[in-house]
């Protein structure tokens, strides 16, 4: 969890020590609440959002304000699902761990029942279980592919290209590639779904464990797929995420 996210947690739920929200996966403090506010998490839980909306009607999904526009675009075909700045949503609900929380809130705020190191399934399968949503709905009910058809796409290069998503602190070596490289760059206010055409038509996709990796999982890429684990902490089983695309793994 990034430092900025810890500060947000502390501000919203001041009685929970931010030190307990570390990347130490070996144990889980009593009363620990999991915040899933990254882009990858938002994509992974989109199918759950659709299923919970079918069950409960209108729901609100709190999110990191940096990703609000992108995440809202996932639900362009689901008017009962509203995405809201996390802080405003929590203030609106006056969320308290001792109170019941709404289904929408539970997409981002949930009680941890076991230490991740003791889990026999990966993180997303476990959390889908706490939401009461069958895990296959993560893919079968995901709204992203359909929503992307309503999003203006970035233009594709001419000829062949390799789509690479990495970070400055973890660079994928592109010297071996013989065709042009496309590395995505952020445009303020643009949805992550604007990369659909670039991903689906690339000769190869190389991605670290990130939002664009998860986005690719829910599209129809034609090229070869390569997944690279960057240098963040890694826990066996808990972070051995299930997938449906034919990824070639590099660690």
Residues ≥6 apart with Cβ < 8 Å to 235 = 25, 116, 117
pLDDT value at 24 more than 50: no
Q: Where are the domains of the chain?
A: 3-147, 150-250
pLDDT digits (tens, 9 = 90+) for 94-126: 655 455 566 777 777 666 677 777 889 998 998
Q: Rounded distance, CA 96 to CA 158, Å? A: 53
Q: Residues 12, 96: contact at Cβ < 8 Å?
A: no
- Model pLDDT for residues 168-207, shown as the tens digit of each residue: 888 898 888 999 999 998 888 899 999 999 999 999 999 9
- Residues 123-145 have pLDDT tens digits of 899 889 888 899 999 999 999 99
Question: Residue 241: which H helix or E strand, with range?
Answer: none
Q: What is the 3-state secondary structure (H, E, C) of 152-179?
A: CCCCCCCCCEEEEECECCECCCCCCCCC
Nearest-CA neighbor of 165 among 225, 123, 245, 96? 225
In the predicted structure, residue 28 carries a pLDDT above the cut 90: no
Between CA 58 and CA 63 the distance in angstroms is 16
pTM metric for this prediction: 0.84
């Amino acid at each position: 969890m990034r430092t900025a996210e810890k500060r947000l947690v502390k501000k919203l739920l001041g009685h929970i020590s931010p030190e307990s929200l570390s990347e130490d996966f070996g144990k889980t403090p009593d009363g620990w609440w999991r915040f899933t506010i990254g882009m990858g998490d938002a994509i992974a839980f989109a199918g759950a959002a659709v299923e919970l909306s079918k069950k409960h009607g209108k729901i609100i999904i709190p999110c990191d304000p940096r990703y609000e526009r992108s995440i809202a675009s996932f639900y362009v075909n689901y008017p009962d699902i509203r995405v809201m700045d996390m802080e405003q949503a929590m203030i609106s609900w006056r969320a308290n761990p001792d109170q019941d929380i709404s289904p929408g809130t539970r997409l981002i705020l949930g009680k941890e029942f076991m230490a991740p190191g003791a889990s026999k399934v990966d993180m997303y399968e476990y959390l889908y279980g706490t939401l009461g949503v069958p895990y296959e709905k993560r893919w079968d009910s995901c709204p992203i592919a359909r929503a992307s058809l309503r999003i203006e796409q970035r233009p594709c290069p001419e000829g062949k290209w390799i789509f690479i998503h990495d970070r400055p602190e973890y660079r994928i070596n592109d010297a071996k590639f013989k065709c042009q490289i496309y590395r995505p760059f952020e445009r303020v206010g643009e949805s992550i779904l604007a990369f659909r055409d670039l991903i689906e038509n690339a000769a190869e996709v190389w991605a670290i464990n990130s939002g664009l990796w998860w986005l690719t999982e829910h599209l129809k890429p034609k090229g070869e797929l390569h997944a690279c684990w960057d240098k963040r902490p890694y826990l066996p089983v808990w972070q051995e995420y299930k997938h449906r695309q034919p990824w070639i793994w590099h660690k």
